[in-house]
C-alpha cells in the first residue's frame, strides 16, 4: 500500500501511517508546498494520496498517478481543490476532515469579526507608531455586536458554531441563507431563512461560512456589497473565491461598508502589494481558521485514518460521498 503525503504534517498523523502494517509512505517533507512536478512524480504508482487544500488534484494528477490510485484523503474540510468529477469517474474514494475543525474555525471567525469591527490591528498599530496621544472620545470607534443583526451565509457546522458563539454577545437577530432552509439547526438561534439580497440589506454583520461551489463563486459581488449598510461589517472564513475581491475593495475604499475581515483570499497567499492590503478597514489573515495545535494534530490523524480505511476497503471515519 504505497501512499504519497504532499507535505510535512503533524507527527501524530504520520505516525498513524507509519505504524500501519504494509503502508509504505513517501512524503514531501517540507513546510513549503510540493512543486507540481514533484507532485506528479510522487503520486505515480501510488494507491493512496494524502493532500492539503493547497494541492490542486485534477485530471493531470490522476493521470500521473495511474489506475492504481484508490484513495484521496485531504487534510481539510473544504474540497474545492479536488476535481470531483474526474475522481468519481475513476472510482476513487475521498476522505476529508469535517467536525474536528469546527470549534477552532468558529473561534477564529469570532476573533476576526471582533478584530474588524473594533479595529484591533489598526488600534494596536497606533500604540506602536505614536498615534496614541491621549484618550479621545471620537477616536478608534467601531461597531459592536450588542443589539445587532447577524447574517450567516451557509448555516452548516461552522456557521452554526459561529452563531452559537455570537449569541451571548447580545445579537438581537440571526438571518441565514443557503441552498435550503435548515429549520432544526436554525431554531437554536431563531434564525430566519432569507434570500441573499435581504441578508445583505438587513445584517450589521455578514459572516460567510459556506462551501465554495459553482453556485457560491463570486456571490458576494458589487450588487451584494451595494445592498449592505454603510455601518456593516463583512467576514469571510470559507473560501476567497466566494467574494469578488475587486468589488469588495471598491465597497471598502468608498465607505459603502464599514469594514471587512478575511481569513481567505484569492489567490493564497495574497500578493503583498494587493490593493486590499492598503486599506485600514480590512483585516486579512493567512487562512488560519483551523490553526490550533490540537486541531491540526486531530486533522492529521483523521486524514491518516481516512486514508488507511480507504486502502483497506473499510468505511472511512469521514468519507465524502461522491
Ligand atoms: C480549511 O479551510 C479547510 O478546508 O480545512
Ligand atoms: C473607559 O475606560 C471609561 O472609563 O469610560
In the chain, domain spans: 2-100+293-320, 102-284
pLDDT of residue 187: 95
**Is there an atom of ligand 1 within 6 Å of 34 CB?**
no
- CATH class of the domain whose range is 2-100+293-320: alpha beta
This model of the complex carries an ipTM of: 0.77
3-state secondary structure 250-299: HHHHCCCCCEEEECCCCCCCCCCCCHHHHCCCEEECCCCCCCCHHHHHHH
Residue 128 CA, ligand 2 centroid: distance in Å? 21
Answer whether 62's CB lies under 8 Å from 92's CB.
yes
* Strands of the sheet with 233-236, listed across from one edge: 192-193, 173-177, 149-153, 205-208, 233-236, 259-262, 282-284
Mind listing the pLDDT tens digit of every residue in the chain (322 residues)?
999 999 999 999 999 999 998 899 999 999 999 999 999 999 999 999 999 999 999 999 999 999 999 999 999 999 999 999 999 999 999 999 999 999 999 999 999 999 999 999 999 999 999 999 999 999 999 999 999 999 999 999 999 999 999 999 999 999 999 999 999 999 999 999 999 999 999 999 999 999 999 999 999 999 999 999 999 999 999 999 999 999 999 999 999 999 999 999 999 999 999 999 999 999 999 999 999 999 999 999 999 999 999 999 999 999 999 9
- 102-284 and 2-100+293-320 share a CATH fold: yes
Instruction: Name the CATH superfamily for 102-284.
Output: NAD(P)-binding Rossmann-like Domain (3.40.50.720)
Q: Peptide bond preceding 205: is omega within 30 degrees of 0, i.e. cis?
A: no
Pocket perturbation via mutation, ligand 1, pick of 107, 161, 290 by most ligand atoms within 8 A of CB: 290
Rounded to 5 degrees, φ, ψ at 103 are -60, -45
| Active-site residue identified among 81, 254, 274, 287 | 287
Q: Is 274 a catalytic residue?
A: no
pTM: 0.97
Ligand 1: residue whose CA is nearest its atom 5: 76
Answer whether 217's CB lies under 8 Å from 241's CB.
yes
Residue 215 CA, ligand 1 centroid: distance in Å? 19
Amino acid at each position: 500500500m504505497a501512499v504519497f503525503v504532499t507535505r510535512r504534517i503533524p507527527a501524530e498523523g504520520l505516525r498513524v501511517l507509519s505504524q500501519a502494517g504494509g503502508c509504505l509512505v513517501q512524503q514531501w517533507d517540507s513546510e513549503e508546498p510540493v512543486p507540481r512536478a514533484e507532485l506528479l512524480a510522487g503520486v505515480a504508482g501510488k494507491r493512496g494520496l494524502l493532500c492539503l487544500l493547497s494541492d490542486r488534484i485534477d485530471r493531470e494528477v490522476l493521470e500521473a498517478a495511474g489506475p492504481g490510485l484508490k484513495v484521496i484523503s485531504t487534510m481539510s474540510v473544504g474540497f474545492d481543490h479536488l476535481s470531483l468529477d474526474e475522481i468519481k469517474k475513476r472510482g476513487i474514494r475521498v476522505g476529508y476532515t469535517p467536525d474536528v475543525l469546527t470549534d477552532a474555525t468558529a473561534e477564529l471567525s469570532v476573533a476576526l469579526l471582533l478584530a474588524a469591527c473594533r479595529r484591533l490591528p489598526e488600534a494596536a498599530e497606533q500604540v506602536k507608531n505614536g498615534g496614541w496621544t491621549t484618550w479621545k472620545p471620537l477616536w478608534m470607534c467601531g461597531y459592536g455586536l450588542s443589539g445587532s443583526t447577524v447574517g450567516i451565509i451557509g448555516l452548516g457546522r461552522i456557521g452554526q458554531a459561529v452563531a452559537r458563539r455570537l449569541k451571548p454577545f447580545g445579537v438581537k437577530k440571526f438571518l441565514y441563507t443557503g441552498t435550503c432552509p435548515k429549520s432544526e439547526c436554525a431554531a437554536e438561534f431563531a434564525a430566519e431563512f432569507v434570500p441573499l439580497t435581504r441578508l445583505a440589506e438587513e445584517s450589521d454583520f455578514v459572516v460567510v461560512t459556506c462551501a465554495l461551489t459553482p453556485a457560491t463563486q463570486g456571490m458576494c459581488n458589487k450588487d451584494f456589497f451595494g445592498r449592505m449598510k454603510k455601518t456593516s461589517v463583512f467576514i469571510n472564513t470559507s473560501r476567497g473565491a466566494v467574494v469578488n475581491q475587486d468589488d469588495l475593495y471598491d465597497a471598502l475604499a468608498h465607505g459603502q461598508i464599514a469594514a471587512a475581515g478575511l481569513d481567505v483570499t484569492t489567490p493564497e497567499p495574497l500578493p503583498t502589494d494587493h490593493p486590499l492590503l492598503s486599506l485600514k478597514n480590512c483585516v486579512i489573515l493567512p487562512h488560519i481558521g483551523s490553526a490550533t495545535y490540537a486541531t491540526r494534530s486531530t486533522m492529521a490523524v483523521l486524514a491518516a485514518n481516512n486514508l488507511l480505511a480507504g486502502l483497506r476497503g473499510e468505511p472511512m471515519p469521514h468519507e465524502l460521498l461522491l
